[in-house]
Each structure stands twice: as C-alpha cells, then as structure tokens.
A and B are shown apart, each in its own frame.
Chain A
Amino acid sequence: MTETRTTLREHESELVVASATAAADGVRELRLVDESGTGLPPWTPGAHVDLVLGDDLVRQYSLCGDPTDPSSFTVAVLREPESRGGSSYVHEQLTEGSRVTVRGPRNHFPLVSAPHYRFIAGGIGITPLLPMIAMAEASGAEWSLSYGGRTRASMAYLDRLAAYGDRVHVYPTDECGPLDLPAILGDPVPGTLVYVCGPEGLLGAVEDFCSGRWPDGALHLERFAAKQTESPTGGERSFELVLAGSGVTLEVPPDRSVFDVIQDAGISVLGSCHEGICGTCEQAVLEGEVDHRDSVLNESEQAANDAMMVCVSRCLSDRLVLDL
C-alpha cells in the first residue's frame, strides 16, 4: 500500500468586488461576493481574511460585515501613507467587478463570552470590533466603545455606531486629544474583558496601562503590523529542530526560518503572512526555550512556552521539539 500524501491548506475563493465605497476619508470598504453559489464559510467576530493581491502581496483585513451572510465578506481598508503595497493596491486597483483571491477566514482575536466588555478602537481598528459589538449587544452584555481617530471625517462607521446611543464614545483627536486611558480603563471591574484594536501606539499604551491594573487575561488585542522586536546581538544562531509527530530531526540554520525548514522537509504546515501577525502557522512546542518574535501571542501565552509562530520565532536553546 502506498503512502497517502496529505496536504493541508486554507480555504481560498475567488470573489468579486460587488461594491467599493468610501467609508471615511482614506478608508475604502469592499464588499466581496461569492458568485460560485457554493457559499462562504461561517466566521465569528474578530476573524480576518487574507486578500491575495499579488504573488508577494498578501494582506490581512478584519471582517466587519454580517457573519450570517453566506454570500459576501466585507472589509474596510485604510490607505496607509507608507503603504508597502497592500493598501494602495486596494485603493487604486480594486473597483467594482474586480476579482480577488480571499484566503480564510481565521480568527486569533475571538470574542470570549463575558457579561461586560470595554471596546477600544483606534482609527481603522474599529473593523474587527463592529461584529464584536453586534454580538455583545445580541448577548445582552453590558458594553461600551471608546473610539479614537484623527478627525471625525477619518473615522469609519460613525453612522452605524450612532444607533447604539450613549454606549459609544467618539474621540476625534483634533477635538478631544488622544484617548484618555485613565478615564477609560482606570476602574478595573471584575468580569470585564477589554478588546482593543488600533495602531501600535495605542496598543502599546493600553498594554502598559493595563499591566498590573487589570487581571491577567482581561486584555485582548490584535496587531495588524508586526511588533518591533529587537534584533539579536551577534546575529542569528542555528539550532536542532525535532518534529516529534513526524519523527524527523532537522537543522535550522541562521538564515532560515523554522517554517521554511519544515516545508523543505516536505511536511504540510499552514502559513500565510510570514511576519508573525496572522497566527496561521502556530505550532505546539514540546521542548525548547522559544524566542518569541510574533505579534499574536500575548505576554502570558509567550511565557507559557507551549506554542509558537514558526514563521518568525526561533529557539534560544540548542534543541526545539514541536508536536508536528
């Protein structure tokens, strides 16, 4: 009997841009529809998809539409002044009728059931929070949203959020200054979860503010750009990689990632962004001291040392054993 060759991949579909509209200054909303009739996979609030915009141009965007709609995905994309190609492609190339390959969805920012939530959005970070807010509202949870942005005109979905009344607090920087974190987070309440999405400056500030004030596990945040990690002094080092399930031992040289080495060995492993932000390549760690360089796992998850993103993270000890 020959061996069954098994390949693992994420769901991919070619979707059509049904509408491309301005959701705010510099924000383009795309509604992507499935014309095949097979239906799009279900997802939950906090999920994102990859837009495959070119061979080396894959970008992650949160789903901000209706999770129960099997025929379309909605994303909103901010034009980044220092675009690395993704946002300018979306703004300049994608118009009604364009076709785009969409991979996923996947979710590394799931909304955990709780009686109380504080949502904090900075700018385009509002997108994953929109379906979360709909879910919190449907669950009968008590919640509030603090939404900061450069100017009112740059802040997407203010009209949709207005329907929620005084649960939503809008803080355009030009009117109110930056988000007042002590006012928003100064009174930790047991049973409350904090969900934050926005630019790195906001995420870092919230992490710093919550540290020591809010219980471990209360804060949930999602990064869309890789966190700046200090480059190791003296360059990368090599280490031994053992894949326990597959029964193979490999060597990870200084110039190759764990992900690349696994793939080269012919073992099927999922991966997408290769920057440690999408969470697709997460693997269980059995042994070895992980050198975490991703933006997915939080501090306590990294400290647990039982999982790693193999696209960017490496190993501080000489031997890394994965459950793969």
Chain B
Amino acid sequence: MSPTASPAPAPADCWYALASSSEVGRHLFPLRALGAPVVLYRTEDGTAVALEDRCAHRAFPLSAGTLDGDLVSCGLCGFAYDTDGQCVSVPTQPRVPFGAHVAAYPVQERDGLVWVWLGESGRARLHRVPELPWLTDDGWAGVEGTAEVAAGYLLLHENFADVTQVPFVAPEIAPAALAGSTPPLEVVVTETTVELRREFPPAPLPGWQTELLGADVGDATTVQGGFFLSPAVWADHWDATYAGGAARLRFTQLVTPVDDALSRLHWRVSRDFALVDPDADARMHAMFQDYYARVRAAMETAQRVLDVDGPGPEVNVAADVAALRVREIVVGMLAEEGVAARPDHPST
C-alpha cells in the first residue's frame, strides 16, 4: 500500500513511443525496450512495422540483415520474415520449418510518434494511445532530444510529478513565480491517470521567454498542469496569460523502460509563440538539452543511492501525493498483468 521508490518491473500492457515517425523508414532501425530487442521499419506502402530483433534460427539481430520489399532477411542465415513475423522462406530447403517466426508487435502511428505494444498482443486494441496533438498541430513549433538514463522509469515519472523540482534543478528556466510562491496544488486522479494543477499569481515571465516573445509583456499569470497519462508519457502544460496575449508551452516526456536499470527519455518542448524566429529553435534546444541533462544526472544519482543502499524509509510531504498515486497506478497495472513483483516488494 505504500510502495517505495525501488526498481519496479515495467507494465508491458501499455503503448510506448519507441521512435519518432521521422526515424522510421525504409531501413532497419534497432532498439531495445522492456528488455526485448526490437527492429522498426516501414513497408513499401509506408506502414510502420515492429518485429522482435532476433532471428528464430540462431542468435543474430534481424536489423543486421536486409530489407527486401516488405520482407526482412537475416544477414547470417537468410531466413526471410514478413510483417507478421512469420518466416516465409529459408535458403536451404523449400519447406519453411515449423515454428520459424519472430514476435510481431502491434504498432500505431499518431502525433508523429511510432507507438509499439510489447505486451500480450491481443490486448493492444483495448488500450488507447495518449493524445498529444500539440506535437504535430499547426501553430506549434518545438525542439526535441533523446537521452538514455541509467535509472528506473518510475523514478523519472516521480521526478516529473514533483512540483518542487524545476526551480531546484534549473532555476533560470522556471518562471519567477515558481520560485517565489506556493499556490495551492490540486491533484486529480482517475483509475489510470494523475493530473496536477497550480495557478501562479502574476509575475514576470522568465528572461528567455520574454526574449523569444520579443517584448517585455509585463506580469503574466501562469497555469501549470502536469499529466501522468501512462507509464509511457508525462506531459506538462505551462500556460502564461498576460495583457494582450498568451504563450503556451508543452513539455512532452516520453519514457520507455529499456530494462530494469535503464530508461530512454525522449523529450519534446513545444511552444505556440515565436514560431518564425530563426534563432528560437537553437536557443530552446540548447537550453532544454541542458535542462534534461541535469534531470538525467539527478535521476542517475538517485538510482545509485537506491542501488547501493536499497530502498529506505521516505518522508513524504502532502505535495508528494501525485507521485504516490503514480506508484499506485503502476502497482495496479502490474497486478492486472499478473506480475507478482510489486514496487514495494522489490525482487532485486
């Protein structure tokens, strides 16, 4: 009932954003997720495909082979697989050996991302992919980056759920209001999601945002929203309103558990202002690359403490309620999958 931050197995029954649409094409793109090797590619008609990246014949990654039409051929033995992962031909005999297939994972492409389902495949169609329209809608521009973080995926979510961390980790990014006041925090929960919301009193926007807007707009009221949408996504909204205008930011943090010890963080920072400023992207990219590098360093440090000294007693404050609900949701998801190990009873 009171799970502590310790290594948790990752829910498999979840859509994870394994890649950007632009990364997946007519080539074999290998990566790892949930402890499994995966290869992504597109068929000739453009459909994204995700297969287990290991030939059924011998230990060899299919991604080291070739893409011929819609078939992937192993670079070692020549077994050829179709988009369902079924082996359709082998070089040495006319008959395809029984059981020669690799896992084919359900794929959905939405909001410029390739979402892959690594759980029980039949259950995929009864789960939704979170909607992140600002990633592709007109009127938004953004920067992005990817980092491998040597920390559990749950630590990352708990960090995003912690409303106090931004001014500590990156004081120059946060609005002045964030450091100076503690408005009421509202946490809204459902079976599968957690939302937190705060409204800051009028205060100047941070310097970088003022510069991108091209004018000192005076005091702005900022509404911060944080959303745990699934173990694969934490999204933050920063909506600033000032005399004569508004400026919105969306931070999309796409988290993929690579294995128990490693997570992939693909981040996007989207804005609905300074859309045509040629320098805006470069500035924002440098700034947020630096911010997420600091987040990464902090999470890796926290993970090392857990690894070395084990999960210890933690003092929670009222504001931690969002992070604690995230843990409860993950515990529930794992229980539904019949996974015995719970975050409060670590197997490691």
List chain A positions with a Cβ less than 8 A from chain B.
1-11, 39, 41-45, 47, 67-68, 70, 104-107, 110-114, 131, 134-135, 138-140, 245, 268, 270, 282-285, 306-307, 323
Establish whether residues A11 and B338, one from each chain, have CB atoms under 8 Å apart when the complex forms.
no
Establish whether residues B187 and A8, one from each chain, have CB atoms under 8 Å apart when the complex forms.
yes
B1's nearest neighbour on chain A, judged by CB, is A284
Interface centre among B125, B128, B337 (most CB of A within 10 A): B128
Establish whether residues A70 and B184, one from each chain, have CB atoms under 8 Å apart when the complex forms.
no
Establish whether residues B336 and A112, one from each chain, have CB atoms under 8 Å apart when the complex forms.
yes
Judge if B138 is at the interface, Cβ distance under 8 Å: no
Give the residues from 93 to 125 in chain B that come closer than 8 angstroms, CB to CB, to chain A: 120, 122-123, 125
**Which residues of chain A are near B211, meaning CB under 8 Å?**
none
For the complex of A and B, the 7 pairs showing the least CB-CB separation, nearest first, are: A284-B1, A41-B190, A6-B318, A138-B122, A4-B182, A113-B338, A5-B184
Establish whether residues B186 and A104, one from each chain, have CB atoms under 8 Å apart when the complex forms.
no
CA distance A104 to B193 in the complex (A): 10
Judge if B279 is at the interface, Cβ distance under 8 Å: no
Establish whether residues B185 and A135, one from each chain, have CB atoms under 8 Å apart when the complex forms.
no
CB distance from A167 to the nearest CB of B (A): 16
List 5 A–B pairs whose Cβ atoms lie within 8 Å, in order of A's numbering.
A6-B319, A7-B186, A8-B187, A9-B186, A110-B332
Which residue from B122, B125, B189, B338 sits with its C-beta under 8 Å from A140?
Answer: B122
CA distance A3 to B181 in the complex (A): 9
CB distance from A150 to the nearest CB of B (A): 31
**Which residues of chain A are near B190, meaning CB under 8 Å?**
10-11, 41-43, 104-106
Establish whether residues A10 and B188, one from each chain, have CB atoms under 8 Å apart when the complex forms.
yes
Which residue from B125, B163, B184 sits with its C-beta under 8 Å from A7?
Answer: B184
CA distance A282 to B189 in the complex (A): 14
Q: A3-B182, A8-B321, A112-B338 are in contact. Are A139 and B189 (CB under 8 A)?
A: no
Establish whether residues A106 and B191, one from each chain, have CB atoms under 8 Å apart when the complex forms.
yes
CB distance from A193 to the nearest CB of B (A): 9
**Which residues of chain B are near A42, meaning CB under 8 Å?**
127-128, 190-193, 230
Establish whether residues A138 and B187, one from each chain, have CB atoms under 8 Å apart when the complex forms.
no
Judge if B92 is at the interface, Cβ distance under 8 Å: no
**Which residues of chain A are near B120, meaning CB under 8 Å?**
113, 139-140
**Which residues of chain A are near B191, meaning CB under 8 Å?**
41-44, 47, 104-107
- A-B pair number, CB within 8 angstroms: 117
Which residue from A10, A135, A284 sits with its C-beta under 8 Å from B126?
Answer: A135
CB distance from A290 to the nearest CB of B (A): 13
**Which residues of chain B are near A43, meaning CB under 8 Å?**
190-192
Judge if B293 is at the interface, Cβ distance under 8 Å: no
CB distance from B154 to the nearest CB of A (A): 18
**Which residues of chain A are near B321, meaning CB under 8 Å?**
6, 8, 268
CB distance from B328 to the nearest CB of A (A): 10
**Which residues of chain B are near A1, meaning CB under 8 Å?**
182
B3's nearest neighbour on chain A, judged by CB, is A284
CB distance from A161 to the nearest CB of B (A): 17
Which residue from B188, B195, B319, B336 sits with its C-beta under 8 Å from A113?
Answer: B336
A47's nearest neighbour on chain B, judged by CB, is B191
CB distance from A72 to the nearest CB of B (A): 13
Establish whether residues A41 and B193, one from each chain, have CB atoms under 8 Å apart when the complex forms.
yes
Judge if B335 is at the interface, Cβ distance under 8 Å: yes
Q: A42-B193, A105-B191, A107-B191 are in contact. Are A7 and B185 (CB under 8 A)?
A: yes
A247's nearest neighbour on chain B, judged by CB, is B315
CB distance from A63 to the nearest CB of B (A): 10
**Which residues of chain A are near B125, meaning CB under 8 Å?**
68, 138
